Chain A
């Protein structure tokens, strides 16, 4: 059943990707990208990564769709015809994709218990977490406690992004 769901989701993802490439109307592209994010969130759900799924659905399908629509308001709704031939980008994309697929051959089987991810530091966190922090959700414990310094850095990155966007766009705002 899970395999069937995965196959349907991944097929839809491929169809939407082809749609995004083929369609020249940017409004349709934005909507398709939102649908892509929602499907991606579903894939994350099937992989039991609920935290990531939640973020993907809210950021990818929600906020960035709205921001893309806001940007669309400032430009034309039709994509301009390409000025250069697509041969070289196609070559780069196919090459990168082939290398990524080649890389997956070196990965251990999905969900195996004796992989480095599940035997090394991950297992250590799972064993120590309840006694040390008493927080049942290990993701939160690692994120906020064991690796709090990393998360402080991430928060600072978001802060910097906000300040950067403000500096760039503030002078264009109408009132103030």
Chain B
């Protein structure tokens, strides 16, 4: 789609809004619909859109393969790490009540925040990786 000016310009206009919307869905997930999973998919959709219009190589220059493959386990580690954090301060695994100096709602807020970050990282990088794996396959 090298020559399709309208598509290329529109994509360039859309992509910042897609990522802003993903951030909104991520961080507003405590108050409205959304959360890590939905935001992760929207981030991945933004990258996929870029790859479709500008080509796989351009997308992999912006979001390198090595990076997303590194991010897949990182998200799970962030999630599990929040659990270990609770263990270290003397709570049960994945209990957030005391994460913020004993203030229960603040601790919950903090725990949920980091857990959702973990979900976002794993979901978005997994989706991008699967797309890269499919799109990078040449015809046999």
- Quick check: B33 and A58 within 8 Å, CB to CB? no
- List A141-162 residues whose CB lies under 8 Å from chain B: 141, 143-145, 148-149, 151-152, 155-156, 158-159, 161-162
- List B35-70 residues whose CB lies under 8 Å from chain A: 35-38, 41-42, 44-45, 48, 52, 69
Query: Contacts A140-B29, A140-B35, A140-B112 hold; do A158 and B80 have CB atoms under 8 A apart?
Result: no
For A152, list chain B residues within 8 Å (CB).
Answer: 76, 79-80, 83, 94
- Number of B residues, CB within 8 Å of A: 55
Interface positions of A (Cβ within 8 A of B): 50-51, 54-55, 58-59, 62-63, 66-67, 70-71, 73-74, 132-137, 139-141, 143-145, 148-149, 151-152, 155-156, 158-159, 161-163, 165-166, 169-170, 172-175
- Quick check: A158 and B134 within 8 Å, CB to CB? no
- Quick check: A163 and B72 within 8 Å, CB to CB? yes
- Quick check: B133 and A143 within 8 Å, CB to CB? no
C-alpha gap A134/B111 in the complex (Å): 12
Instruction: Tell me the interface secondary structure of chain B in the complex.
Output: helix
C-alpha gap A133/B36 in the complex (Å): 18
A-B contact pairs, 14 of them (CB 8 A): A54-B38, A58-B41, A59-B41, A66-B131, A67-B130, A73-B139, A74-B140, A137-B31, A139-B33, A151-B119, A155-B75, A155-B122, A156-B76, A170-B133
- List B60-107 residues whose CB lies under 8 Å from chain A: 69, 72-73, 75-76, 79-80, 83, 93-94, 96, 104-106
B58, chain A: closest CB distance, angstroms: 15
Which of A54, A71, A140, A145 interacts with B134 by CB under 8 Å?
A71
Which of A58, A135, A144, A148 interacts with B45 by CB under 8 Å?
A58
- Quick check: A58 and B42 within 8 Å, CB to CB? yes
Which of A54, A151, A166 interacts with B25 by CB under 8 Å?
A54
C-alpha gap A46/B106 in the complex (Å): 33
For B20, list chain A residues within 8 Å (CB).
Answer: none
Query: Contacts A55-B41, A144-B115, A152-B80 hold; do A136 and B31 have CB atoms under 8 A apart?
Result: yes
